[in-house]
Structure 1
């Protein structure tokens, strides 16, 4: 994992779909779980969604709080 990926979670938005323009860090767990079941998109977006799914699944969202607003 690239350490910058954690910063990207709180700065990059979802580019399409129901949650378009929402920060990846703010995507709901059920949406991330859907991607985990159906398949993450290719490339960097998919890697970020998979990382956010792991963070959410392990109840570690609070670890991103210090990165917000940098």
Structure 2
């Protein structure tokens, strides 16, 4: 993991699926856990989803709050 990956979590949107258009950092935990069970996609998006699943699973979502723009509030 590198710092650029953390920034991507709060800026890139899910490009497909049920939650298309949602920031990766805002994806629900059950969706991330589904990928963990079924398999993450190949490439960068899969790597970022796996990272976000680990962050969510370990209760570390608030660590992403400082990386969000001023118009975004803290994560739920």
Q: TM-score range by the shorter chain?
A: over 0.9
Query: 1:8-32, CA deviations, whole angstroms, 9 ceiling, x for partnerless residues?
Result: 0000000010100000000000000
Unmatched runs of 5 consecutive residues or more in structure 2: 71-76
Q: What TM-score do you get using the length of structure 1 for normalisation?
A: 0.97
CA RMSD of aligned residues (A): 0.9
Runs of 4+, deviation exceeding 6 Å: none
Residues 1:20 and 2:20 aligned together: yes
The whole-number CA distance in structure 2 between the counterparts of 1:44 and 1:37 is 18
Q: What TM-score do you get using the length of structure 2 for normalisation?
A: 0.90
Q: Identify the residue that residue 68 of structure 2 maps to in structure 1.
A: 68
Unmatched runs of 5 consecutive residues or more in structure 1: none
Query: 1:5-60, CA deviations, whole angstroms, 9 ceiling, x for partnerless residues?
Result: 00000000000101000000000000000000000000000000000000000000
